[in-house]
Chain A
Amino acid sequence: GAVVSQHPSRVICKSGTSVKIECRSLDFQATTMFWYRQFPKQSLMLMATSNEGSKATYEQGVEKDKFLINHASLTLSTLTVTSAHPEDSSFYICSAQPSGVSDNQPQHFGDGTRLSIL
């Protein structure tokens, strides 16, 4: 149980392109999802918290107009990297926290999206 599907797994595109990444909880509902960025040989850095039906909460230093988050349903959150540039190249990972069971459920992660901007 607790499967999170992230798509696509890899994107290579030209500078200036906008890229959308999807995160789906397949067998549970998630009021809250999280988006992380991971640089090589480093830990996961939280970018933003995605809340179903309301605006995302961004961490300090993360541009909300650059990284658009939409959490339209209890099983889907999307991250759009707008007008991506080479410095946006990274490994992006989403996670989802099951809702409605208790207030202390662990997050379950997707398999990540490797974004490469040429």
Chain B
Amino acid sequence: GQQLNQSPQSMFIQEGEDVSMNCTSSSIFNTWLWYKQDPGEGPVLLIALYKAGELTSNGRLTAQFGITRKDSFLNISASIPSDVGIYFCAGQRRGGYQKVTFGIGTKLQVIP
């Protein structure tokens, strides 16, 4: 199925550094979602964005819904070791079965 363009695909950062990852699409979404997946577990919802231009924070995480509705970014400030994992963006459209389209994921590794 269709996937979003998510970048970077992996990153190594030093503990305490800020992190930024983004997602782009050729088509419009009504909702942008950011999930984190730890090994052997299901994705956990971090942030949901519902309006173009919306900027939402969840603790050290901040995400924005692009004004064109075709992109979104996620920032993590002051990274800590437990931020390690795979972060997925996802786009959702309104109506129908509301299938979600996932990005390929960004694997984050934090060096203590």
Q: Could you tell me the distance in whole angstroms from the C-beta of A1 to the nearest C-beta in chain B?
A: 11
A32-B98, A49-B99, A103-B94 given; A108·B105 CB < 8 A: no
Find chain A residues with CB under 8 A from B88 CB: 43-44
Contacts A32-B97, A43-B3, A104-B92; A93 near B30 (Cβ below 8 A): no
- Which residue of chain A is the closest to B104 with respect to CB atoms? A43
- A44-B88, A110-B42, A112-B40 in contact; A34/B99 too (CB < 8 A)? yes
Interface of B, secondary structure class, is loop
Within 8 A of B (CB), among A89-118: 91, 93, 95, 97, 103-104, 106-112, 114
**Among the listed stretches B44-52, B53-61, B62-70, which one makes contact with chain A, having 4 or more residues with CB under 8 Å of it?**
B44-52
Q: Which residues of B contact A43 (CB under 8 A)?
A: 3, 88, 102-105
Q: How large is the interface on A (under 10, 10 to 19, 20 to 34, 35 or more residues)?
A: 20 to 34
Q: Does A57 contact B (CB under 8 A)?
A: yes
A25 within 8 A of B: no
Tell me which residues across on chain A come within 8 A of B103, comparing CB atoms: 43
Contact B41 A59 (CB under 8 A): no
Is B112 among interface residues, defined by CB-CB distance under 8 A?
Answer: no
- Which single member of A6, A45, A103, A108 contacts B95 (CB below 8 Å)? A103
CA distance A112 to B3 in the complex (A): 21
Least CB distance from B89 to A in Å reads 10
Interface residues, chain A, with chain B CB atoms under 8 Å away: 2, 4, 6, 32, 34, 42-46, 49, 51, 57, 59-60, 91, 93, 95, 97, 103-104, 106-112, 114
Closest 8 CB pairs of A and B: A109-B42, A106-B48, A49-B97, A111-B42, A112-B42, A43-B102, A109-B43, A93-B42
Return 13 A-B CB contacts under 8 Å, by A number: A6-B42, A32-B97, A34-B99, A46-B100, A49-B97, A51-B97, A95-B42, A95-B100, A97-B98, A103-B95, A106-B92, A109-B43, A112-B40
Chain B residues near A (Cβ < 8 Å): 1, 3, 30-31, 33, 35, 40-45, 48, 50, 88, 92, 94-95, 97-100, 102-105
